[in-house]
């Protein structure tokens, strides 16, 4: 797919209503840094842009892009506070369940979330071919269903406020354990001092 290594193309292809204005040179620079961070594995990025310039929208879209294409297996979104981080995750969940183009092109990743109908209770018993999928749908995190062949299989995204407990986060994933210190991270809406990790 043309969007696999091109976040800008993904934004325009899958979220045309969110990205209806032309990207500025600064937006393109931020997109490039997000791509490099997600594809090459790790790093941190604090976005300090004017209010209304699209930083949250870029973060939300880049998280979806990185998870669906398997660039990242575990992403921590750090918001200005817990409520801001949770709102970003809520928007990501909404896109995963409501975006028809994502449903058509990534059914193995998106359909399991769609079937939950927003219910965390349904996640516990969801099965694929007689096996539990391990999907999770919580206020502070979500875990993609373990579907064979899906690039996002078992991937996870967690939201936390900048003063929240981030140090030592771990996620057990199918066939491996990923510790926070070595994982791909995305710092969102965190203007000011970044926590030392």
Please say whether the beta carbons of 5 and 34 come within 8 A: no
127-128 and 131-132 beta bridge pairing? antiparallel
Per-residue pLDDT at 25: 86
Specify the 3-state DSSP secondary structure of 49: coil
pTM for this entry: 0.81
Specify the 3-state DSSP secondary structure of 125: helix
Phi, then psi, of 177 in degrees rounded to 5: -120, 130
Q: What are the residue ranges spanned by the domains of the chain? A: 7-187
pLDDT, mean of residues 58-73: 94
* Confidence check: pLDDT of 184 > 90: no
Per-residue pLDDT at 186: 30
Dump pLDDT digits (tens) for 1-49.
Answer: 589 999 999 999 999 999 998 888 888 988 998 898 888 876 666 666 6
- Gap between the Cα atoms of 37 and 33, Å rounded: 6
Dump pLDDT digits (tens) for 129-140.
Answer: 999 999 999 999
Dump pLDDT digits (tens) for 69-118.
Answer: 999 999 988 888 899 999 999 999 999 999 999 999 999 999 999 999 88
Please say whether the beta carbons of 52 and 195 come within 8 A: no
């Amino acid at each position: 797919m043309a969007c696999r290594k091109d976040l800008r193309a993904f934004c325009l292809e899958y979220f045309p209503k969110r990205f209806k204005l032309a990207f500025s040179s600064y937006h393109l620079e931020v997109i490039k840094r997000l791509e490099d961070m997600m594809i090459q594995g790790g790093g941190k990025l604090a976005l300090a842009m004017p209010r209304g310039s699209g930083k949250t929208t870029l973060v939300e879209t880049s998280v979806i892009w990185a998870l669906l294409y398997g660039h990242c297996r575990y992403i921590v979104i750090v918001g200005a506070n817990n409520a801001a981080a949770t709102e970003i995750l809520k928007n990501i969940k909404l896109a995963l369940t409501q975006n028809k183009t994502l449903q058509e092109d990534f059914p193995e990743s998106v359909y399991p979330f769609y079937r939950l109908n927003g219910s965390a209770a349904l996640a516990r018993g969801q099965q694929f071919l007689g096996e539990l999928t391990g999907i999770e749908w919580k206020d502070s995190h979500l875990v993609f269903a373990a579907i064979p062949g899906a690039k996002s299989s078992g991937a996870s995204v967690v939201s936390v406020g900048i003063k929240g407990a981030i140090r030592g986060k771990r996620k057990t994933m199918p066939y491996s354990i990923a510790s926070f210190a070595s994982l791909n991270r995305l710092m969102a809406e965190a203007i000011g001092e970044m926590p030392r990790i």
